[in-house]
Structure 1
Amino acid sequence: MSRIAEVIVLAQYADEVMEPLTRPDDTRTWQGVFHELRAGGNWGFGWGAEFTSMRTRSGLLKHLESLPWPQPETVQVLIHDEEDDCFGLWMIHDGGLVEIPLPRTRRAYWQGPHNEKYPPDPGILNRTDCGPVDWPEETEGGDQSRPPAW
């Protein structure tokens, strides 16, 4: 399924950790490369990538959380799927990347199977303070009913 998403990784002192992710690598579950964000400075701690489909980003968060971050408490992953109203925020807690709930937002998921042919649905992150939202019909359990799509 074609759904463009932008991903920004922010982390201090992570140049060595992120450097391999700036090159293509067919052995990764996800496909893509990150580019260093260095606007107006000679040092940086941010990298960005764009993904053109859900399949090309499958496994990205698992890969990022497995890296040997020098300061894991500084790692922030911002994800904006084309259906989202705003970027979502993931941070490392207890060794894993978890989505941090943002005030006045809600993530909802469409019903439907996920399997080899269809990757898990990343859901839609909507702002709740911008007017009525046409929420997708959810399965019992709401947001907890879906595995991570990333």
Structure 2
Amino acid sequence: MSRIAEVIVLAQDADEVMEPLTRPDGTRTWGGTFHEIRPGGLGGFGWGAEFVRMATRSGLLRHLESLPWPRPESVQVLIHDEEDDCFGLWMIHDGRLVEIPLPRTRRVHFEPHDERFPPDPGVLVRTDRDPAWPAETESDDQPRPPAW
């Protein structure tokens, strides 16, 4: 299934950790490479990648959370799926990358997961853009297997 997604990894002092992810590697569960973002010549702070199919990004978050980050508290992963209204934010909490709820947003899942395909990440919607969307509530979201 095709759903383009952009992923940005922000992390302090992470040049050595991210360097292997800037090269292709057929042994990873996910496909793709990251490219360093150098605003104003600053290195070692941000990397971006684009994924064109859901299958090519499966396992990415598990891989990122397993890396030996020198400053795990600084790791932020921003993910924008083509259907999302905005980037979602993921941070390391207790050794795992978890999605951080953003004000006025809600992750919506439309269909049950079909085991034949990679898990659908759902869609991150802004609840303030359209009065038809309900306000965000944690109890309304259905748990899903990690799509990343």
8 Å contact from structure 2 (residues 22, 34) kept in 1: yes
Distance in structure 1 (CA, Å) of the matches to 2:37 and 2:98:
23
TM-score if structure 2 supplies the norm length?
0.92
Distance in structure 2 (CA, Å) of the matches to 1:128 and 1:45:
31
8 Å contact from structure 2 (residues 36, 43) kept in 1: no
State the number of aligned residues. 144
How far 1:111 sits from its partner (Å)? 1.5
Distance in structure 2 (CA, Å) of the matches to 1:26 and 1:83:
28
Distance in structure 2 (CA, Å) of the matches to 1:49 and 1:101:
23
Percent pairwise identity: 76
- Equivalent residue, structure 1, for 2:128: 129
8 Å contact from structure 1 (residues 110, 121) kept in 2: no
1:146 aligns with 2:144: yes
8 Å contact from structure 2 (residues 6, 80) kept in 1: yes
- Equivalent residue, structure 2, for 1:138: none
- Equivalent residue, structure 2, for 1:78: 78
State the superposition RMSD in angstroms.
1.5
**Which amino acid letter does the alignment assign opposite residue 146 of structure 1?**
R
How far 1:133 sits from its partner (Å)? 4.5
1:57 aligns with 2:43: no
Distance in structure 1 (CA, Å) of the matches to 2:23 and 2:47:
12
TM-score if structure 1 supplies the norm length?
0.91
Gaps of 5+ in 1: 136-140
Moved more, 40-49 or 119-128: 40-49
